[in-house]
Structure 1
Amino acid sequence: MIISTKEIEVRYAETDQMGVVYHANYLVWMEVGRTQLIKDLGFSYASLESEGYISPVIDLQIAYKKPLRYGETATIKTWIGYYDGFRSVYEYEVFTPNGDLAITASSTHVCVKKESFKPISFRKLFPDWHEKYLHAAKKED
């Protein structure tokens, strides 16, 4: 299994009146983590879009554990938890600066034609990505 890591410094605008990261900002950070994982695998989400395809979220799960605050650095770990050639489930852990788990999350995506939102077979249209995703999602024994 391949795990991508990305650090993000918490900006003031990402916090709420309680001085902690507003819950919806974790969704943006998850996208940053996904983008980094795709880059680490040798691909670009922007190139997928330029070919007329997008990968919308069809399910999202998130559990909040510990707060992060302005000025702290969050560490996002992202990996492919499940992949079947059609559906991809990305999993995430975000850590505080001292290593405490701030959130656990997963997001499920399918690939669709941008103009029609008709689902496509990722396996058939993007065989290189497909093979990398199969390899990246494999659990090590």
Structure 2
Amino acid sequence: MTAGLESRSTLRVRYAETDAMGVVHHATYPVWFEVGRSDLMRDLGLPYAEVEARGYYLMLSGLNVEYRRAARYDDLLTLVTRVASVRSRTLTFRYEVWRGLPEGGDLLATGETRHIATDRSYRPARLPEDVLRALQGAGQG
């Protein structure tokens, strides 16, 4: 991942997130990515609730997850979230899921989500300048 602001979220694997083999189910990772995205937006002073109250949605347009190692019940994880790219109507977030801390932990998965900004009618919309500036600043390092 490129340099820039990162948000770190601590997660503990819950039993309900595992499959019959005791491994975190693959569908859990996108849910965790949402946690990281929400935390990063909050860290930027742009909570999703505020962005939505201003009339904008960041709709998911693409998702990718690369699984490297299994996470298991009760593992303590660190989710690192970064802004990868920002344009007037689109943005991309990148994620790393670590067992333990990135400094010395095991990288379990990486991922990316792509989003398009829309208005309340779900039409593509240019994000407000202050939101763009904050997101662009987060992606620089």
Is the structural similarity TM-score above 0.5? yes
Superposition map of 1:27-38 within 5 A: 27-38=30-41
Are 1:99 and 2:102 an aligned pair? no
Instruction: Find the partner of 1:7 among 2, 10, 14.
Output: 10
2:88 is aligned to 85
What is the Cα deviation at residue 36 of structure 1? 0.4
The percentage of aligned residue pairs carrying the same residue is: 36
1:96-130 Cα deviation digits (max 9, x unpaired): 1261111110000011113x2100001xxx22111
**Counterpart of 1:112 in structure 2: which amino acid?**
T
Q: Distance in 2 between matches of 1:51 and 1:112?
A: 11
Give secondary structure in 1 for the equivalent of 2:31.
Answer: helix
Asked if residue 121 in structure 1 is aligned to residue 126 in structure 2, the reply is yes
Measured in 1, the distance between the counterparts of 2:32 and 2:18 equals 13
Distance 2:111 2:74 in 1: 23
Q: 1:112 matched to which residue of 2?
A: 118
Aligned to 2:134: 132
Q: d(CA) in 1 for partners of 2:62 and 2:47?
A: 22
3-state DSSP of counterpart to 1:8: strand
Query: 2:24 matched to which residue of 1?
Result: 21
Where in structure 2 are there 5+ consecutive unaligned residues?
none
Residue identity in the other structure for 1:83: V
Which stretch shifts more, 63-72 or 92-101? 92-101
Deviations 1:53-88 (A, max 9, x none): 211110111100011111111110000011112110
Cα distance in 2 for residues equivalent to 1:51 and 1:129: 11
Cα RMSD over matched residues? 1.1
Query: What is the number of residues matched between the two proteins?
Result: 135
Normalised to the residue count of structure 1, the TM-score between the two structures is 0.91
Deviating beyond 4 angstroms after TM superposition, the runs of 4 or more aligned structure 1 residues are: none
Task: Please report how far the alpha carbon of residue 43 of structure 1 lies from its aligned counterpart in structure 2 after TM superposition.
Answer: 1.3
2:78 equivalent in structure 1: 75
SS where residue 56 of structure 1 aligns?
A: strand
